[in-house]
Homo-oligomer: A and B are copies of this chain.
Amino acid sequence: MDQSLIIDNLLNPTILFFFLGMIVVWIKSDLEIPQPLPRLFSLYLLLAIGFKGGVELAHTGIDLSIMKTLLFAVISSIVIPIYLFFILKKKLDINNAGAIAATYGSVSAVTFVTAVAFLQNLEISYGGHMVAALALMESPSIIIGVFLVRQFDKSESQAAKRIGVRETLKEAFTNGSVVMILGSLIIGILTGEKGAEALAPFTNDIFKGMLCFFLLDMGILAANRVRALKNAGPFLIIFSILVPIIHGVLSILISMALDISEGNALLLAVLISSGSYIAVPAAFRLAVPKANPGLYVPMSLAITFPFNIILGIPFYFYLINQLH
């Protein structure tokens, strides 16, 4: 494998700031990005990526090949939580099995954004509909995860009484990050070229810098959260690295079969292999309070996410290039 891809990725300021964040924790520095500044960066990134995707989508329109890609994306987010649940059920209680399955069926917007920056560096284009894929993939696995838990959990859970099917659906589809990205996407579609140009200094020019800041915070967060996995045992750690690799590779093979372009294939691989740590915990806290966010959030946030942005993205890209 072409090592220069990985090294190039590592010398990217965005990834370097992520490392800086991890170092901050290792040397026990008191550097922190106080709340709610991380929300500012994350809202900004969702707005920028959503808006740009919408503008792009208005330009290209929707054709059969786009529909194909979106369908693939949504189906993956339905199939993955089901098959993972039955594997996880053998090792874990029902609640946590459902939560972890939903986590990996859903997606990580930050990983997506980092992959977008990776593509921009290489000047490789991607479709605006990939942002739609991101938005569409957040919620389905939540519904499925909660449904599976309720199906198999025989105990009379209080939460199940309080939070019914409708509340779960509502919670899954109205999560802040889903609404922000979908809303910005639609606004991007409705806004003409001229409107997009007027926003470009905000949504495009300072994008990379904001991402650096945000990944600095994510590095701090990931390095802090990883501690919670001290007693989690090797199965879950291996799971958090193996699952993205398998999902990434499979996704790339299917993308090839579907004749999906280089850039889009990378983003799909990143979406499918990443795990959620915003929408899923929010919904599961309400619907399945007995699942332990101290477990499934660190898995996706502190292992899968760093793996993906450091090694996964260049590796997936290498694979795509080999197969093209």
A-to-B contact residues, CB < 8 Å: 11-13, 16-17, 20, 23-24, 27-37, 39-40, 43-44, 47, 51, 120-121, 170, 174-177, 179-180, 183-184, 186-188, 190-192, 194-195, 198-199, 201-203, 205-206, 208-210, 212-213, 282
Contact = CB atoms under 8 A, between A and B. Distances in A.
16 contacts: A16-B190, A24-B183, A29-B174, A31-B177, A33-B43, A37-B39, A44-B213, A47-B212, A121-B194, A121-B195, A199-B212, A201-B209, A202-B206, A202-B208, A202-B212, A206-B206
Nearest to A282: B30
Contact of A13 (B36, B40, B175, B187): B187
A172 to B, nearest CB: 11
A201 B205 contact: yes
Contacts of A195: 11-13, 121
Contact of A23 (B12, B43, B183): B183
Contact of A176 (B29, B37, B198, B206): B29
A121 B180 CA distance: 24
A191 B13 contact: yes
A24 B174 CA distance: 8
A97 B244 CA distance: 57
Contacts of A190: 11, 16
A242 B208 CA distance: 44
Contact of A199 (B120, B186, B208): B208
Contacts of A206: 201-202, 206
B199 A13 contact: yes
Contacts of A17: 183, 187
A184 B205 CA distance: 19
Given A16-B186, A33-B39, A202-B212, 8 more contacts: A11-B195, A23-B183, A30-B174, A31-B174, A31-B180, A35-B36, A40-B40, A121-B198
